[in-house]
Structure 1
Amino acid sequence: MGRDVDDERLLSIPLRDDPMLAFVARNHPWAGREFIELADLDDTPLVLRETGSVTRQTLEREMHQAGLRIRPAIQVEGREAAREAVVVGIGVGVVSASEFGADSRVYAMPIRDCTQRMKETLVIQMSMDDSFVDRFEKAFILPPSFPYTCHSPFSEVYTQDIPRSHQK
């Protein structure tokens, strides 16, 4: 899931917690900047993901809270389509650091004042017999607590102890 989950019926294991990035074509005036701020995106033509996308919801929430305008240049389905639209110069794209990937045609920069982060959470429904949860834990050999580390070129190393919320 791309958001936090708080439900005692579910076992939730956080996998990622990444900052948002803006990305532009290599020939865009912003290419080479160390970072941007949300105000830079105000009324800038944006390549937006589909309605319902967590990436889009996160961007819309941040822009609204800052009192800034979103100017859609185009709406696309999926991050690959967003990347291609940015490459041909339609607008500026926004993704989480973990989704950016490697592509020499585009340049990414952190959105310095963006407080929202993109989260990925593995969610498993707890059951009365607990057999699925037991099989999951054995398959992934989860000790009582293990550190998960996410390395991102655009953020600090993120390490978290993930507690085993299911006890025998």
Structure 2
Amino acid sequence: MNLAQIRAFRAIVMHGGFSTAAQSLGVSQSAVTQQVKALEEALGARLFHRGGGVAELTQAGRDLLPQVHRAAMVLDELGASISAARELRVGHLLAGICAPHVAMPILKRFMTDFPGVRLEVRLDNSGSLLDRLAAHSFDVAVATLSEPHPDFFCLELAAQQVLVLVPGDHPWASRSSIPVAALDGQPFVMREQGSMTRHLFQAGLAASGIAVDERLSLGSRETVKEAVAAGVGLGIVLDRELGHDPRLRGLAVDGVTMRAAEYVVALPEVAPLGVVAGFIGAARAVYGAAL
């Protein structure tokens, strides 16, 4: 028994004949006849008495009707669920983010626009986010990239630059920027491998022939901030991640480019679909003036 056969059988019962059933389904009468014939052959029993343009159920047909009715209800419910998912009244989205300050306005807009969609969010660095997108572990991500990645759909949201973090009592704390040469040999608390902030900083240092003293590597910007505030060393952070901690100061680095941007990133084949398209639309609504 297949879907077409169920629909044909049910339509004949509901409309009382093959011709009217065909009209209700938008198919030819011969198509309905063929579906019922195939169903009868599969069951080994005649389902309708035919005559005078009226189709009357046989005993076998009456025995089958409750099962067909239940199957039809399940199909109707499935169709309603699919329709709701298509309209984003229901669903599930797993998003990865590396920059909560950029992502949170998008998440808020998405949750407002699609309250029936269950949203899960995981925090990770940009390198891991791309790996997990490629492995289909995430549906969409907000990641920091130096440029759009050719293997992904990338929607640019906001520009970023690397700042050097110093504690509030540091001799540089009253300055707004420092020359890159001043960083040579300075003790630093660095982000972990895979962090775009770390990648941008190291690339800028290498281009300038500067080397710093890496004292510690930490797995999040929050732990880097705490280490800097505690006097473990200087740190790095993207400018939109600086926040308003009175214990810290963020300084631009003169003489070198350490810039990137925040992007919504997804696999190209899923970017125009369902909840992922809804998330991208929310990002456009929030950051549209910058796009």
Band the TM-score falls in, shorter-chain normalisation: 0.7 to 0.9
Distance 1:139 1:84, change over 3 A: same
Contact 2:264/2:280 (<8 A) preserved:
no
More strand by percentage: 1
Structure 1 runs not aligned, ≥5 long: 149-161, 163-168
SS of equivalent residue, structure 2 residue 193: coil
- Paired residues for 1:17-56 under 5 Å: 17-56=159-198
Q: Distance in 2 between matches of 1:134 and 1:75?
A: 34
| Cα root mean square deviation, aligned | 2.5
Which range moved further: 125-134 or 56-65? 125-134
- Match of 1:100? 242
Aligned residues: 146
In structure 2, how many angstroms separate the alpha carbons of the residues matched to 1:34 and 1:13? 31
2:264 corresponds in structure 1 to 122
Moved segments of 4+, more than 6 Å: none
2:271 touches 2:277 (CA, 8 Å); kept in 1? no
**Correspondence 1:45-84 to 2 at 5 A:** 45-84=187-226
| TM-score, scaled relative to structure 1 | 0.76
Deviation of the 1:74 alpha carbon: 1.4
Which of residues 210, 225, 233 is equivalent to 1:91?
233
Taking the aligned partners of 1:141 and 1:32, their CA distance within structure 2 comes to 36
State the structure with more CA Rg: 2
CA contact (8 A) 2:164 2:234 kept: yes
Residue 62 of structure 1 aligns to a residue in which SS?
A: helix
Moved more, 61-70 or 120-129: 120-129
Write out per-residue CA displacement over residues 118-148 of structure 1, whole angstroms, 9 at most, x where no aligned residue: 32110122338943388427853958xx422
Larger RCO, structure (CA 8 Å, separation 6 or more): 1
Deviation at 1:11, TM superposition (A): 2.8
Give the % identical residues: 27
Instruction: For 2:228 and 2:270, locate their aligned partners in 1 and report how far apart those are by CA, in whole Å.
Output: 48
Q: What letter is aligned with 1:90?
A: V
Q: Residue in 2 aligned with 1:5?
A: 148
